[in-house]
């Protein structure tokens, strides 16, 4: 894993993923705070508020899990179903780059949003599956875990995934909201995760410590996860102050799509010549919009022909 995305625990205080330990307790955790990074991802499209919130949760979850990877590569969190949101995907790589996208039916989302509460993952996705994919690059096969979408939130879907796929007791909190500060109004997201470290002969039973950790973790409020004036250290101290919680090195997070002019040209070579001819607009160019970041690429048909050879 490269080192250039690492910073000290105190800097940055935002757009970061960091591990934490509770001294003497068989519990490990991770914390994610997203400000400008998640605002850039969610603001790239005119998402309805519930859809933006779902994508924000997926991005926070991808950073929570992905930042623990011990190899170069990517973690892809996705969920798909038969509900108003057909598909949500969040992509994290081990340099701290993030992107995400939702595909949805606007009318169906509006119909599902008539109640007083923001519709959650199950209401938006319907019956479907939750998927985590590890991509270590072209020299390795992708590994993938798939579980049914359980519960109303992505937090519960993730907890179910860890229990079913890895048999690791896990608690997850995710929060997304639009926050107004002196700098203006923008999207923010936060996430926290704790996992039980299995007991052994030296450690003995870990059940009591896990029960206490879960009870403290449940007191974590959405406002605390989102408030930019609360530093990660302060947040963890509020939760576990009597237990000597220690925040480890933070990894900086940034919104950065993987699209490029060359990638788009390469993708277009998969179409037949007559199909590409139909894509040519009045000014002689083929235009493709990246579904993740909404960047529009204008290509000359000759560029694509050259890349085929």
pLDDT recorded at residue 277: 87
**Closest of 50, 47, 48, 19 to residue 32, by C-alpha:** 19
- This prediction has a pTM of 0.89
Task: Decide if pLDDT at 1 tops 50.
Answer: no
DSSP string, 263-284: HHHHHHTTS-HHHHHHH--TTS
Task: Decide if pLDDT at 10 tops 80.
Answer: no
Q: Please state the length of the chain.
A: 309
Task: Decide if pLDDT at 198 tops 90.
Answer: no
Task: Decide if pLDDT at 8 tops 90.
Answer: no
pLDDT recorded at residue 23: 83
Mean per-residue pLDDT for 124-148? 91
Mean per-residue pLDDT for 119-145? 91
Question: pLDDT grade, residue 305 (50/70/90)?
Answer: low
Angle at 285 between CA 282 and CA 288, to 5 degrees: 115
**Closest of 33, 1, 51, 30 to residue 162, by C-alpha:** 30
Mean per-residue pLDDT for 253-257? 95
**220 and 175 Cβ atoms separated by less than 8 Å:** no
**What confidence tens digit (pLDDT) does each residue in 49-88 have?**
999 999 999 999 999 999 998 888 999 999 999 999 999 9
**What confidence tens digit (pLDDT) does each residue in 83-114 have?**
999 999 999 999 999 999 999 999 999 999 98
Q: Which of 12-21, 102-111, 163-172, 275-284 has the highest mean pLDDT?
A: 102-111
The DSSP element (H or E) to which 189 belongs, if any, is: strand 184-196
Question: pLDDT grade, residue 243 (50/70/90)?
Answer: low
Task: Decide if pLDDT at 242 tops 70.
Answer: no
DSSP string, 113-154: T-SSSPP-HHHHH-SEEEEEEEE--TTS--EEEEEE--SSSH
Question: pLDDT grade, residue 180 (50/70/90)?
Answer: confident
Task: Decide if pLDDT at 11 tops 80.
Answer: no
Q: How far apart are CA 36 and CA 44, in angstroms?
A: 12
pLDDT recorded at residue 3: 33
pLDDT recorded at residue 202: 59
**Closest of 4, 5, 30 to residue 248, by C-alpha:** 30
The 3-state DSSP class for residue 223 equals helix
pLDDT recorded at residue 201: 56
Q: In the chain, what are the helix, strand and coil shares in percent, each to the nearest 5? A: 35, 30, 35
Taking residue 287's Cβ as centre, other Cβ atoms within 10 Å add up to 13
Q: Give the mean pLDDT of the chain.
A: 87
* Burial letters 178-200, b for 16+ CB under 10 A, else e: ebeeeeeebbbbbbbbbbbbeee
Task: Decide if pLDDT at 45 tops 60.
Answer: yes
Question: pLDDT grade, residue 5 (50/70/90)?
Answer: very low
Task: Decide if pLDDT at 157 tops 70.
Answer: yes
Mean per-residue pLDDT for 153-182? 90
């Amino acid at each position: 894993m490269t080192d250039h995305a690492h910073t000290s625990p105190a800097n940055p205080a935002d757009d970061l993923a960091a591990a934490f330990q509770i001294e003497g307790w068989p519990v490990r955790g991770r914390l994610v705070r997203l400000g400008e990074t998640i605002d850039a991802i969610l603001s790239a499209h005119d998402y309805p508020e519930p859809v933006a919130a779902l994508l924000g949760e997926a991005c926070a979850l991808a950073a929570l899990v992905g930042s623990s990877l011990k190899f170069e590569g990517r973690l892809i969190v996705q969920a798909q179903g038969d509900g108003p949101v057909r598909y949500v995907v969040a992509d994290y790589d081990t340099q701290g780059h993030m992107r995400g996208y939702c595909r949805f039916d606007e009318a169906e989302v509006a119909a599902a949003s008539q109640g007083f509460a923001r519709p959650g993952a199950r209401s938006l996705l319907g019956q479907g599956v939750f998927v985590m994919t590890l991509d270590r690059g072209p020299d390795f096969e992708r590994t993938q875990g798939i579980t049914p979408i359980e519960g109303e939130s992505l937090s519960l879907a993730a907890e179910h995934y860890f229990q079913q796929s890895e048999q690791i007791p896990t608690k997850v909190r995710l929060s997304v909201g639009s926050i107004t500060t002196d700098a203006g109004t923008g999207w923010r997201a936060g996430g926290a995760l704790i996992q039980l470290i299995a007991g052994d002969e030296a450690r003995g039973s870990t059940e009591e410590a896990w029960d206490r950790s879960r009870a403290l973790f449940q007191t974590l409020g959405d406002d605390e996860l989102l408030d930019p004036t609360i530093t990660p250290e302060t947040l963890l101290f509020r939760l576990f102050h009597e237990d000597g919680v220690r925040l480890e090195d933070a990894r900086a997070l940034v919104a950065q799509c993987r699209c490029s002019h060359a990638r788009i040209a390469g993708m277009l070579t998969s179409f037949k010549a007559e199909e590409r001819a139909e894509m040519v607009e009045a000014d002689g160019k083929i235009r493709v919009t990246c579904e993740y970041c909404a960047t529009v690429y204008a290509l000359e048909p000759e560029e694509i022909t050259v890349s085929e050879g």
